[in-house]
Amino acid sequence: MIGSLVHLIRNLRAGFVLAREGALALIDPSALPPAARFGLRMARLIERPQAGDGAARLSKALTRLGPSYVKFGQFLATRPDIVGVAAARDLERLQDRMPPFPRAEAVRMVEVALGRPIDELFLEFSEPIAAASIAQVHKARIRTAEGEEIIAVKVVRPGVREGFARDLQAMRAAARLFERVVPDARRLKPLEIVEALARSVAVEMDLRLEAAAVSELAENTKDDPDFRVPKPEWDLTARDVLTTTWIDGIRLNDLAGIEAAGLDRVALGRTVIQSFLRHAIRDGYFHADMHPGNLFVDAEGRLVAVDFGIMGRLGMKERRFLAEILLGFIRRDYLRVAQVHFEAGYVPPYHSVEDFAQAIRAIGEPIHDRRADEISMAKLLTLLFEITALFDMATRIELVMLQKTMVVVEGVARNLDPKLDMWTTSEPVVRDWIERNLGPLGRVEQAGKGLWTLAGVIGDLPELALRAERVLNQLEDVTARGVALDQDSVAAIGRAEARGNRWGVAALWIIAASLMIMMFRGFA
């Protein structure tokens, strides 16, 4: 009871802030029942004059509500399938910047996490240089076998887990209430959204997992000459502390700095696109938060990524899907694009492939009549998802995250080179992967893997035959002698029949059947 009251108070405060900042203006009243429409009108009476328009209102409200709500807004930006493409793009402007906590607190967190005094761990440990909702970063120096080295130390905010836990509980209560009050909103699955946010934040708050992400991406890209990531220092990393090599570079949105350093903006824009596609299609593992604040260019012109709290992963099926639809659009083979959707099981088979191809043609043909520098791959993917919604295509979170990241990556690349030709830039990566994995060589490799699997099955055949023989023998024994029940079970069945308790009889016979099945499995 007390917990429900606390959640109610927290949600009332959140509602007041949202209403005061004008964020409720983003709600379409026509989609609400009459009572909810009246409540919305009443709530908007306290709206602050000149609150702004668009998502600026929502961003300001979420920032006022604190770190949990800022993270919630950023999470919604990755789900255009829920909030809509326009709202998702607006929410991408939401900056995850929070006031830093004192250096002394960071020192205490590091000492507790690593179990040693700060002076034994580092030669120098700076004041915070960047702070976000979950953690902040310090610059430090350590002594290694090769000499002194500058490193970056990321420290989780004190009490952040407890704060997120409280806010997530209040969000769950609000989601359940929303589903009850507005039944039509259940299709948006608000409770599932909150649970997905909870899982995402739990992963992001364990910095050991972020270190593992850095390590995996570094291993995947070790042979890429134009891309690199920092190296994690495992001995100085724990759940609440992540230590990596320091990155000296120029942020990708610092165009003046890039030009002053004599770097090629056109080549750099091409690297941004091709690196992302290589990670997504070739490796199936990509940085899912590639905004300009997380991307640098070093003195050698290499792209450097940081902050690996949000990563995306694609299976072979999704990678093939992505490569083939991109190549299909490049070659204007709309029937193949449609077939790929059906082969992947993303569009139900009761729809017509030809009708779906016609809908996709409505997307592809207009963009092929425009100049290369006017074609937006992000817009293409957005339109594609809108069309597939008409054909009951199920939402796939990995593809939605991919689409969202593509929007951001394209924006970064076009900022560097406004005339970037997306098709020419993307085709080599897509074509090489398809030739390597779906061409003759790839089919030979797949056949080899299939033969190896078949060989394993053949090797297990003697053991499988013995198991089958034991099961058959047991079945013969059961057929000949029946299932033996102990006296207590028989007596209980008799008592139940005597009382006319049909449900009790059924339950006891189910128990008996379960015992028989368990016996069979034991012999198998």
| Residue 66 in tokens | 């604190």
104 and 235 co-located in one domain: yes
21 and 57 co-located in one domain: yes
| Residue 176 in tokens | 């359940």
Residue 50 lies in a domain: yes
Residue among 176, 23, 21 nearest 91 (CA): 23
Q: How far apart are CA 7 and CA 447, in angstroms?
A: 57
Residue among 132, 16, 112 nearest 66 (CA): 132
Q: What is the mean pLDDT of each run of 10 residues along the chain (524 residues)?
A: 70 80 71 72 76 66 80 72 61 72 95 95 94 91 90 93 87 82 66 80 90 95 93 95 94 91 92 93 90 88 91 87 81 87 84 90 72 58 66 68 76 86 80 78 54 63 73 68 58 55 45 45 43
Residue 387 burial class via C-beta count within 10 angstroms: exposed 0-12, middle 13-18, buried 19 and up: middle
The domain boundary, picked from 63, 94, 125, lies at 94
The domain boundary, picked from 413, 438, 463, lies at 438
270 and 414 co-located in one domain: yes
Residue 508 lies in a domain: no
Q: How far apart are CA 193 and CA 75, in angstroms?
A: 9
* pLDDT on residue 394: 64
69 alpha-carbon distance from chain centroid: 18
Radius of gyration from C-alpha coordinates of the chain? 29
Within 10 Å of residue 456's Cβ, how many Cβ atoms?
9
* pLDDT on residue 431: 85
87 and 28 co-located in one domain: yes
Q: How far apart are CA 44 and CA 47, in angstroms?
A: 5
Residue of 96, 289, 307, 417 with catalytic role: 289
| Residue 271 in tokens | 């690297």
pTM metric for this prediction: 0.71
Identity of the residue numbered 120: E
What are the backbone angles phi and psi of residue 130, rounded to the nearest 5°? -160, 140
Q: Which long-range contacts (CB under 8 A, 24 or more apart) does 24-33 make?
A: 25/51, 25/53, 25/57, 26/55, 26/57, 26/58, 26/87, 31/184, 32/182, 33/182
Q: How far apart are CA 376 and CA 187, in angstroms?
A: 30
Supply angle C-alpha 492, 494, 495, rounded to 5. Answer: 65
10 and 149 co-located in one domain: no
219 and 261 co-located in one domain: no
Count: domains in the chain: 3
CA atoms within 13 Å, Cβ hemisphere of 330 = 17
Q: How far apart are CA 326 and CA 428, in angstroms?
A: 11
* pLDDT on residue 75: 73
Q: How far apart are CA 25 and CA 209, in angstroms?
A: 39
SS3 150: strand
The domain boundary, picked from 94, 117, 135, lies at 94
287 and 428 co-located in one domain: yes
SS3 19: helix
Residue 125 lies in a domain: yes
Residue 289 falls in the annotated catalytic set: yes
Q: How far apart are CA 145 and CA 418, in angstroms?
A: 45
314 and 368 co-located in one domain: yes
Residue 103 sits in a domain of what CATH number?
A: 3.30.200.20
Q: How far apart are CA 209 and CA 220, in angstroms?
A: 17
Domain that holds residue 238: 96-167+201-246
312 and 209 co-located in one domain: no
SS3 string, 341-368, reads: HHHCCCCCCCCCHHHHHHHHHHHHHHHH
106 and 205 co-located in one domain: yes
262 and 392 co-located in one domain: yes
Residue among 208, 203, 205, 250 nearest 232 (CA): 208
80 and 115 co-located in one domain: no
SS3 226: coil
* pLDDT on residue 7: 74
CA dihedral 302, 308, 314, 320 (to 10 degrees): -10
Residue 8 lies in a domain: yes
What are the backbone angles phi and psi of residue 460, rounded to the nearest 5°? -90, -5
